[in-house]
């Protein structure tokens, strides 16, 4: 493998069997598999000055390992994804826990048995818990919108409390809309949990953090003789889609192209911009061992930021006397402004626009879209890896 900055004058697309756009999960997994299984020579073009996409981590000036684009916690139920990534890293046994700061009281999220007792008092909380168990069973995940639909005064009391104190203000900050106005699958990611498990991802058998960090895992993933990575290169400077053909450096390109960026950008937003939310992240280093009791505290009833993450509590790094925290502020994304498009806004209109862009490339046999941006999906890391494994399966079987 080589990783270089910029594209050398000698760069010749024809000398590569495949061009992968983006060095995040989607691109790195496809590059590795094409190199390994097909013996393909792969150029990975990345416009940032680093690999690992939004999962990138690095040490800050105080020596704290931080996540550059927000807290990333690995969790999956997918054995194939886990086996594949485990070739490139060991995992810590970190189990993510989140507390919601509800008017000053810290309660577990997903809202669970403990949260009920903190919110309603020991006796009433227990009574309401037994009602939830009777209605849904124990150790069940109940999306807030499903709970709200129940026609029972006591269950409605729980639903109203959770809706008002956990979801409403946080969702307004994160999406600029109320929970009723967004796709229920989004709030469904953090259901009420009828049980005592206080982990954020109670159902995931594989969870933890890469033992030496995400960037180190990506270095190993991309470490193959047939993979060359070019950083700081915006592929739009060398690649264009014209009718049913991909051009690279102004010449038709016959190799495989795996594209993991935004589709609207590739076409100069000519059908309109796909809507996203972006984040402003405020990092702060403090001269103390620790700042908060768990790695992430969600501010669900107060403050302008959504959550505070303390990285050392997630990574397990031991570094006395200093800690780094990060506050996340969500905002509307402005296209072509240099902002990062962190979250696709999944609404009928935006999906329809996405499909119009997608139709333009679906007929091009050697052009493939994969990943959170290129598929315009709200994927977690494991979802992207699963999608990239599927795409690379197809490419491998057609290139053998
Ligand atoms: P990306 O990581 O975005 O990679 C795409 C790459 O393509 C980028 O590096 C980009 O620079 C490059 N690119 C784009 N356009 C061009 C171009 N024109 N030319 C060259 N290069 C280009 N998932 C979890 O599982 N657990 C978590 O805890 C978690 N937390 C998250 C927190 C936040 C704040 C966010 C935003 C996401 C989180 N995720 C989490 C999701 C996770 O980040 C993504 O699923 C995953 O990183 C997406 O990988 P990707 O390869 O599809 O995209
Ligand atoms: N959510 C909320 N309050 C919380 C946690 C989550 O309202 O304390 C809602 C909010 O709409 C958020 C969504 O659930 O965008 C998904 O939360 P998750 O933590 O999965 O978001 P991510 O980590 O992807 O930003």
Query: Whole-angstrom Cα distance, residue 212 to residue 191?
Result: 31
Of all ligands present, the nearest one to the C-alpha of 232 is 1
Report which of 25, 54, 28, 26 is spatially closest to residue 43, judged by C-alpha positions: 28
pLDDT in tens, 66-76: 999 999 999 99
pTM for the whole thing?
0.98
Average pLDDT per 10 consecutive residues for the chain, totaling 400 residues: 93 98 98 98 98 98 98 98 98 98 97 98 98 97 95 96 98 97 95 97 95 98 98 98 94 97 97 98 98 98 98 98 98 95 97 97 95 98 98 91
Closest residue by CA, ligand 2 atom 9: 187
Strand intervals (E) in 127-210:
140-142, 192-194, 206-208
What is the per-residue pLDDT for 400? 63
Query: Whole-angstrom Cα distance, residue 226 to residue 205?
Result: 34
Of all ligands present, the nearest one to the C-alpha of 279 is 1
Query: Whole-angstrom Cα distance, residue 243 to residue 19?
Result: 19
Pocket of ligand 2 (CB under 6 A): 100, 109, 166-167, 170-171, 174, 186-187, 189-190, 298, 300
Q: What is the set of domains in the chain, with CATH numbers? A: 2-51+222-272+345-398 (3.40.50.720), 98-194 (no CATH), 276-332 (no CATH)
**What single string gives the DSSP state of each residue in 27-81?**
HHHHHHHHHHHH---EEEEESSSSSSGGG-EEE-TTS-EEETTS---EEES-HHH
What is the per-residue pLDDT for 243? 83
**Tokens coding 98:** 């989140």
Report which of 259, 273, 270 is spatially closest to residue 374, judged by C-alpha positions: 259
Contact indicator for 136, 247 with CB cutoff of 8 Å: no
Query: Whole-angstrom Cα distance, residue 157 to residue 148?
Result: 9
What is the per-residue pLDDT for 387? 98
355: left (phi over 0), alpha (psi -120 to 50) or beta: alpha
Query: Whole-angstrom Cα distance, residue 67 to residue 72?
Result: 7
Helices (H) and strands (E) in the chain, counts: 13, 22
Closest residue by CA, ligand 1 atom 38: 72
């Amino acid at each position: 493998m080589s990783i270089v900055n910029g594209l050398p004058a000698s760069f010749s697309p024809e000398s590569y069997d495949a061009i992968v756009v983006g060095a995040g999960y989607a691109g790195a997994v496809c590059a590795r598999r094409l190199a390994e299984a097909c013996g393909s020579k792969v150029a990975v073009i990345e416009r940032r000055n680093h690999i690992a996409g939004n999962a990138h981590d690095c040490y800050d000036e105080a020596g704290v390992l931080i996540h550059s684009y927000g807290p990333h916690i690995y969790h999956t139920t997918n054995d194939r994804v886990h086996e594949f990534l485990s070739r490139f890293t060991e995992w810590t046994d970190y189990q993510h826990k989140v507390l919601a700061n509800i008017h000053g009281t810290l309660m577990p999220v997903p809202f669970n048995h403990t949260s009920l007792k903190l919110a309603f008092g020991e006796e009433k909380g227990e009574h309401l818990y037994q009602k939830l168990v009777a209605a849904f069973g124990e150790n069940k995940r109940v999306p807030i919108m499903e709970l709200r639909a129940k026609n029972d005064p006591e269950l409605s009391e729980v639903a109203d409390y959770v809706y008002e104190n956990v979801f409403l203000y946080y969702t307004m900050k994160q999406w600029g809309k109320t929970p009723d106005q967004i796709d229920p699958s989004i709030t469904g990611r953090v259901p009420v949990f009828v049980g005592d498990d206080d982990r954020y991802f109670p159902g995931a058998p594989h969870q933890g953090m890469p033992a030496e960090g995400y960037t180190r895992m990506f270095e190993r993933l991309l470490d193959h003789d047939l993979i060359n990575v070019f950083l700081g290169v915006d592929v739009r400077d060398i690649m264009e889609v014209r009718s049913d053909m991909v051009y690279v450096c102004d010449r038709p390109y016959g190799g495989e192209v795996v594209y993991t960026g935004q589709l609207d950008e590739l076409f100069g937003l000519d059908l309109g911009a796909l809507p996203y939310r972006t984040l402003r992240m405020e990092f702060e280093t403090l001269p103390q061992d620790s700042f908060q009791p768990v790695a992430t505290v969600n501010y669900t009833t107060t403050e302008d930021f959504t959550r505070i993450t303390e990285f050392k509590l997630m990574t397990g790094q031991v570094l006395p006397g200093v800690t780094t925290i990060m506050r996340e502020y969500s905002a509307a994304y402005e296209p072509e402004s240099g902002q990062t498009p962190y979250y696709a806004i999944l609404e009928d209109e935006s999906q329809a626009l996405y499909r119009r862009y997608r139709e333009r490339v679906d007929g091009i046999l050697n052009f493939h879209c994969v990943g959170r941006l290129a598929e315009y999906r709200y994927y977690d890391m494991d979802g992207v890896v699963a999608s990239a494994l599927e795409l690379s399966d197809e490419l491998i079987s057609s290139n053998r």
